[in-house]
Amino acid sequence: MKIYRYASPTLFYPLAGALWPWFAGFAAILGAVGLYMSFFVAPTDFQQGEVYRIIFIHVPSAWMGMFIYLVMAFYGVLALSFNTRISAMMMHALAPTGAMFTFIALLTGALWGRPTWGTYWIWDARMTSTLILLFLYLGFMALTHAIDDTRRADRAGALLAIVGSVNIPIIYFSVKWWNSLHQSTSVSPGTAPKMAQIMLITMLVMVFACWAYSIAMALVRVRALIREREAGAVLEGTQ
Amino acid sequence: MNWAEFFSMGGRGAFVWGSYGAFALAVVIEIALLVRRTRKGRENP
Amino acid sequence: MNAVLPVAILPNAELVVERGAWVALKRDLKISMAGKGELAQALAFLVIVASLFPLAVGPETMLLKRIAAGVVWVAALLAVLLTLPRLFASDYADGTLEQLLLSPYPLPLIVAGKILGHWLTTGLPLTLVAPLLGVQYGLEGAELAILMLGLLLGTPVLSMIGAIGAALTLGLRGASILMALLVLPLYVPVLIFGAGAAGQVQAAMDPTANLSLLGACLLFGALAAPFAAAAALKISLD
C-alpha cells in the first residue's frame, strides 16, 4: 500500500509541510468563530452569569490534554511494534502541545472555581486526574530528554506512554472513588451549568479548533525533529 | 453593545479575561518556541 | 558478585522456567541480606519521616489520628522509592544485567524474582514496622490491622511499578529523581485504596471494597509488571 511510504521520515517531511498550513488555517477560522460564539452568541447563564464562559476554554483544553496523550500512546504502540522512526517522532511532537493544554485546563479550572465555588483549587476527581495527567506528560518529557541515545529515548518514551495510558483509567477511577469517599460537603463542584444547545455547539467549535491547532503544531514540530535527526538525508523542499 | 459591561463580565472580568488571556499567551509562546526551533534547525544543516 | 547462572538443559521445560526465577530470587536475597545496612536505612527513613508530621502539624491527638494512615502510607511509598534504584543498579554496574538478558531463562520471570526479592527486603519489613508508627499516631486494634493488611497487599505493587521505573531510568543522570517523577503518579491508585481502607475502618465503615481493589491491583501488577519491566530493561540495555 502506498501509504506505508510515509513511514519514512524523508518522505513524510514534504507531506507534513504541505498539510500543516491547512490545519493552521482551519484552526484560525474555527478559533475565530468559536471565540465570537463564546462571547456574543452563547447566552448569559442563569446560575453562573458571565463567568461560565471560561468553560469554552477549560473543557476543550481538558479534552485535548487527555486525547493527545492517548494518541501519543497509540504512536508509542506503533513505534514499538513496527519500529518506524516516524511513529516515535510523532509521539515526541505531540507531547508539548498536550502538556500545554493540560496546564491550561488546570489554570482555567482554578480561575473558574474561584468565583463560582469560592476556592481556586478543588480536589475533585476531574481536576485531580488532570493534575496527575500533567505529571505524566512532564515525566514523559523529562525521561525522553534525559536519554541521549535517540533510539533508546524513542522506545523508552513509547513504553512509558503506553504504561501511562493503561494507568489513566485506573487513576481516574481511583480518584473518583477517593472523591466519593471523602465527599462531605453538599456542593459537588465540576458540574457545568445546564448546557443549552448553543453552548454545546460553541464548545464543539472550540474543540475542533484546538484539534486542528494540535495537528498543525505536531506536523511542524515533527518536521523540526526530522531536520534535527536526519541531518545527512536530503529533504525535499529544503534549500 | 455596552463595552464596559462586556469587559467587566458581570464583575468577574479578571477571571474570564485571565483565562482567555492565559490561553492566548500559551498558544503564542508555544508557536514562538516552535518557530525558533524550526529556524535553528534551518541554520544548522 | 557471582555472575554464573546454571545453563542446565533439563528435560522438563517448566522446571527450567521455575529455576530461572528461583535462581534470581535466591541470588537477590543473598545480596540483600548482605546489604542489611540498606534495609535498616529504609526502616530508619520510614520512622523519621513519620515523626516529622507531628512536629509539623502539632501533637493534637484527633488530628494525628485523622492523618495517621495517610502519613504512614506516604512514608512507606517514599521509603520504597528510595530503595528502588538498587533493584538493578548493582547488576548493571558489573555487567551481570546484560548477561541476564542473554540467559535462556525468560526475562520476565527473572525480573519477577528480583521484584519479589526487593519486596521481601523492603516492603515486607516496612509493613511489619508500620503498626508501631500507627500506635504513635494513636491508632488501635482493627485500624492497625487493616493498615497492615493494606500495606501487605500494596507494597508488592509498589515494587512492581517501581521496577518498571527503575528499568526505564537505568544508568541515566539524575535517575533517582526522574524515576520518582515517573513512578509517583502511577502509585496514586495504590495510595488511595490503601489509605482509604485504613480510613474507612477509622470511620467505622467496611474496608472490604478498598482492600479488594488493592488485591486487584496486586493481581494485575503481578501479571503485567514483570513483562513491562523486562521490556524496559531490553530498551535500556540494547
Tens-place pLDDT, residues C110-120: 899 889 988 98
Identify whether the C-beta of residue C43 lies closer than 8 Å to the C-beta of residue C128: no
Q: At what angle do helices C141-168 and C175-202 cross, to 10 degrees?
A: 160
A89-98, A130-139, A150-159, A193-202: least confident range: A193-202
Across the range C145-153, mean pLDDT stands at: 95
- With beta carbons under 8 A apart, name residues in chain A contacting B27: 100, 213
Across the range C192-200, mean pLDDT stands at: 93
Nearest CB neighbour to B26, from listed A44, A54, A100: A100
**Interface with B, mutate which of A35, A102, A104 (most B CBs under 10 A):** A104
Return the CA Rg of chain A: 20
Assess: ipTM above 0.95.
no
Locate the chain A residue with the closest alpha carbon to B19: A108
pLDDT digits (tens, 9 = 90+) for B5-31: 777 777 778 899 999 999 999 999 999
In this model, does residue C8 exceed pLDDT 60?
A: no
3-state secondary structure A59-121: HHHHHHHHHHHHHHHHHHHHHHHHCCHHHHHHHHHHHHHHHHHHHHHHHHHHHHHHHHHCCCC
**Interface with B, mutate which of A227, A229, A234, A239 (most B CBs under 10 A):** A227
The pLDDT assigned to A235 comes to 64
In angstroms, the CA C132 to CA C122 distance is 16
β-partners of residue A49 are A45
C196 CB within 8 Å of a chain A CB: yes
The pLDDT assigned to C144 comes to 94
* Chain-centre distance for alpha carbon C111: 13
pLDDT digits (tens, 9 = 90+) for A149-173: 999 999 999 999 999 999 888 888 8
A144 CB within 8 Å of a chain B CB: no
Chain B nearest-CA distance from A34, in A, is: 12
A35-39, B3-7, C93-97, C220-224: least confident range: B3-7
In angstroms, the CA A187 to CA A122 distance is 11
pLDDT digits (tens, 9 = 90+) for C9-46: 445 555 656 666 677 777 777 776 666 777 888 899 99
The pLDDT assigned to A2 comes to 65
In this model, does residue C106 exceed pLDDT 80?
A: yes
The pLDDT assigned to C1 comes to 41
Q: Which residues of A129-161 are buried (b: 16+ CB within 10 A; e: fewer)?
A: bbbbbbbbbbbbbbbbebbeeeebbbbbbbbbb
Where do runs of H (alpha helix) occur along C84-207? Answer: 89-93, 96-102, 107-121, 123-136, 141-168, 175-202
The pLDDT assigned to A239 comes to 43
- With beta carbons under 8 A apart, name residues in chain A contacting B26: 100, 103-104
Contact A164 C186 (CB under 8 A): yes
Query: Residue A136's closest CA among A112, A160, A107, A101?
Result: A160
The pLDDT assigned to A194 comes to 62
Query: Residue C89's closest CA among C145, C132, C38?
Result: C38
Cell numbers representing residue A194 in the block:
445546564
The pLDDT assigned to A41 comes to 86
A65-69, A188-192, C71-75: least confident range: A188-192
In angstroms, the CA C170 to CA C236 distance is 6
The pLDDT assigned to B45 comes to 57
In angstroms, the CA A66 to CA A74 distance is 13
For chain C, percent of residues with pLDDT exceeding 90: 57
The pLDDT assigned to C150 comes to 96
pLDDT digits (tens, 9 = 90+) for A75-84: 999 999 998 8
pLDDT digits (tens, 9 = 90+) for A192-231: 556 778 888 999 999 999 999 999 999 999 999 999 887 7
For chain C, percent of residues with pLDDT exceeding 70: 89
Chains B and A touch (3+ CB pairs under 8 A): yes
Across the range C218-238, mean pLDDT stands at: 94
Q: How confident is the model at residue A187 (pLDDT cuts 50, 70, 90)?
A: very low
Across the range B24-41, mean pLDDT stands at: 94
pLDDT digits (tens, 9 = 90+) for C64-89: 999 999 999 999 999 999 999 888 88
In angstroms, the CA A125 to CA A133 distance is 12
Q: How confident is the model at residue A122 (pLDDT cuts 50, 70, 90)?
A: confident
- With beta carbons under 8 A apart, name residues in chain A contacting B6: 39
DSSP state at residue A148:
-
Please give the single-letter amino acid code of residue A215.
Answer: I
Dihedral of CA atoms A56, A61, A63, A67 in degrees, nearest 10, equals 150
Q: Kind and range of the H or E element at C217?
A: helix C208-237
Which of the pair, A194 or C108, is modelled with greater confidence? C108
Identify whether the C-beta of residue A9 lies closer than 8 Å to the C-beta of residue A226: yes
In angstroms, the CA A25 to CA C83 distance is 52
In this model, does residue A188 exceed pLDDT 60?
A: no
In angstroms, the CA A62 to CA A104 distance is 8
- With beta carbons under 8 A apart, name residues in chain A contacting C199: 181
Q: How confident is the model at residue A44 (pLDDT cuts 50, 70, 90)?
A: confident
DSSP state at residue A234:
P
In this model, does residue A91 exceed pLDDT 50?
A: yes
